Structure 1
């Protein structure tokens, strides 16, 4: 039987965010310590959204109920508290987080899994003149725009601006758009162009994989899609994107992936985050300067190991995010037990596992390391990729809703 003193000695872990990073970290910490820890999740959103399926939502293949669930019942079932509030402030010295209702939460350990928000001001006119899909509300707006496009078809431009990192989503949307244009019998009336800041096709923000540029080139040629690589967007007009080299591409519909930014309240802390709001971390995913603060997922800063003519980011979503969250959870558990946090996983050494959907086709992307140098890397094209993504969606939603984060 636990005494009051033992209860008072229980450590408190606060997790900011309830998506891939936050939900995984919160449940994993609870699991690592067999429940003997107080964990509270703080999030302005009440839904877990399976973001990889947002590419299907504009085409009517999914809606929000298909790809989301409320996180509070899952957390409650596993003994984790939930504060449906935004964090607006952090005092690392006092070990407190300020919420948007003015309250403060104290912590012994903090996990920052706050994800991203879209930088819709990356270039003039982006916010007003193009669509994006990298958040649920934005994908729903894109669905409305796609419906209007089908009533008034014309040229399509899909792309990723300079500084973007989520190139996989851009490719997936591109090929799904082509697939649905064909299904609607509009292929002869629609020219599709892909515009990307990647130095070559199939770079993906991870340096590319063997023969990836040829494979993506074959996909584009098969779909009669033009492309511009190493492209930098100057601005968007109504119905047109203008590149910095002066080329103007007109469209009846466009979707672009913007860069991601971290949370503003973190950026405002002197020396705590970089100028984009991302947190500098060690290979343990502890903050560079604070042993009791961790950052995982997109919130963590990942140095770009190369220079490209047009800036590109590095994707941190999905599998890498889960891996970071588990490393952080193991290290927090070690610290609570009075041990050193020795679990490490350099971001570059995390395996690359991704399925790129292309309507009724796709590409499976596998590599022994996220970033080069690598020993192994392969892209496997074929319809099995589409089926694999469908199956993985169902499995992952079941896994997260049930709180089974220790499963692969």
Structure 2
């Protein structure tokens, strides 16, 4: 019997747990450990911080979904890993022994590296932080002033930095206060759109043009020194790394990307991690000294692609994490079967960035120069694609095992319980968003009368009640789909959404050769 322990219940950990449990033998065990009892879809955190998503849209308890597949779930933080004795000590006092360990804990922001960063700015690394950022933003729009969106030296995964700046621009325009709010983007990158990829290509010109179009100022090669209550102190370097100019930026609201480090329990595990507490791996995504320890996702130590005046970390995305996860699963199974391992090199970078009403898609292959593919495409379809991918991925995590039928009572039971708990005559909140093409549904006489009678007895308007019940029924129906069904529904949904886009344009494509 083989026991695989997975630390982390996020995008990397849950996806790997599902795949391993499906491919291991019936007597093999998979245990997932997480300091949070829920899964949340990290790429949607900027939307939560803008009030464009509710927490419940992207976060939900993960234990039941793991356990429905026969995967044990333990809600506890990790205290330390002891690879010499193949055990993990948990904060709740438990000790886990493993045959294979997969570290997928994500990261923590190293906010103590810049004075004032934790006290005076906000972050969207975690959904809790995004909610706090939203509360501060709602207060900010009542008294607008300058906004600074920045990244600390050594920060990685910088795509969301630009995404958040563009989202703020779009939201302020909708509120008709954009002209009262100067926005400055502060980045350690040598030029806009570098993103930790290096190899200057089409992205530099495209991102620079987008920033100019939205009147977002940018300071590159920026080393943030200190964040005070009302000002941010930044020194700008030249291409040779010499001090070029200092800036004192006033702000009324700020969101910052700190540099990443390992979570405390992993950072307390010498022999596995580097000086920042990130897990050291070889090309097979396993630790060089402990070949039964693998790592996946943002917690992996990745060297910078190229030397820059101010350090810039490497990028990451759901796409690259999924691809790396497939390799980790394959290599764990290969070690069990004494088969050849699969290399993670070369990597491929691919991600979507929302820009409000439009968006940008990036692809670099391989991730490090010299590269064969380096392109960026813009258009309204990218914005819609990111919305669609969020729904697809969340539905995939919630997918029931193939041999287990879900209960048909879930969402509808929730709607009815809420309606019955409300005082009679109180208008029911309609959770179905408006817009789009109207859908005409003809009910037979008996169900139609039953619906109208139910609505009348609850003091509700029949159309609004029907809309809520139909939305709940559709959510329940999706639980019966297998993985192929989820894929087919995602394709069909995308086709329908593209048909309904108010602006039918494929976008503008930029091509760049190798560097």
TM-score (norm 1): 0.93
State how 1:236-247 maps to structure 2 within 5 Å.
236-244=227-235, 245-247=245-247
Q: SS of 1:121's equivalent?
A: helix
Please provide the CA RMSD for this pair.
1.7
2:53 corresponds to which of 59, 62, 70 = 62
**Residues 153 and 188 of structure 2 are in contact (CA less than 8 Å); yes or no, is this contact kept in structure 1?**
yes
- On the 8 A contact 1:161/1:259 being kept in 2, the answer is yes
Q: Within 5 Å, which residues of 2 pair with 1:16-27?
A: 16-27=7-18
Higher helix share: 2
Structure-2 separation of matches of 1:224 and 1:246: 21
Secondary structure at the aligned position of 2:135 is classed as: helix
Write the distance in 2 (CA, Å) between the matches of 1:353 and 1:317. 7
Cα deviations by residue, 1:332-369 (Å, 9 ceiling, x for unpaired): 112223x13512212xx222221110000110112222
Match of 2:379 in 1: 382
Structure 2 CA distance for partners of 1:25 and 1:228, relative to 1, 3 Å: same
Shift in Å, 1:406: 8.2
Q: Name which one, 1 or 2, has greater alpha-carbon Rg.
A: 2
For the residues of structure 1 that align with 2:306 and 2:367, how far apart are their CA atoms?
14
- Does structure 1 retain, via aligned residues, the 8 Å contact 2:305–2:314? no
Decide which of 176, 179, 184 is 1:193's aligned counterpart. 184
Offset at residue 34 of structure 1 (A) = 5.2
**Alignment of structure 1 residues 9-408 onto 2, 5 Å:** 10-33=1-24, 35-207=26-198, 210-244=201-235, 245-337=245-337, 339-346=338-345, 349-402=346-399
Asked whether the equivalents of residues 48 and 54 of structure 2 are also in contact (C-alpha less than 8 Å), the reply is yes
- CA shift digits 1:159-208 (9 cap, x unpaired): 11111112111100000000011111112211111111111110111125
Gaps of 5+ in 2: 236-244, 402-481, 488-515
Verify the 8 A CA contact 1:55 1:133 in the aligned structure 2. yes
More contact order relative to length (CA 8 Å, sep ≥ 6): 1
- Contact kept, 8 Å, 1:198 with 1:231, in 2: the verdict is yes
The answer to whether the Cα contact below 8 Å between 1:75 and 1:403 also exists between their aligned partners in 2 is no
Q: Secondary structure at the match of 1:26?
A: helix
Partners of 2:189 and 2:221 within 8 A in 1? yes
Secondary structure (helix, strand or coil) at the match of 1:279 reads: coil
Post-superposition offset of 1:317? 3.8
Aligned to 1:3: none
Distance 1:124 1:229, change over 3 A: same
- Sort the Cα spacing of 1:133 and 1:121 in 2 relative to 1 into closer, same or farther, 3 A: same
Q: Give a deviation string over 1:302-328, Cα, whole Å, max 9, x none.
A: 122311000111123422222222211
Instruction: Report which stretch shifted further, 39-48 or 328-337.
Output: 328-337
Deviation per CA, 1:9-65, whole angstroms, max 9, x where unpaired? x11111111111211221111122254420000111111111111111122110110
Cα deviation, residue 266, structure 1: 2.9
**CA distance 1:203–1:403, change in 2 (3 Å):** farther
User: 1: CA distance between counterparts of 2:131 and 2:355?
Assistant: 20
CA deviation string 1:180-237 (max 9, x = no partner) = 1111111221111111111111011112562211111111111111110111101001
Secondary structure in 2 aligned to 1:56? helix
CA contact (8 A) 2:317 2:351 kept: no
Q: Gapped runs of 5+ residues in structure 1?
A: 1-9
* Distance (whole Å) between structure 2 residues aligned to residue 351 and residue 268 of structure 1: 31
Q: Secondary structure at the match of 1:65?
A: helix
Q: Secondary structure at the match of 1:246?
A: strand
| 131-140 or 311-320, larger mean C-alpha shift | 311-320
Supply the distance in 2 between the matched residues of 1:92 and 1:100 (Cα, whole angstroms): 17
TM norm structure 2: 0.74
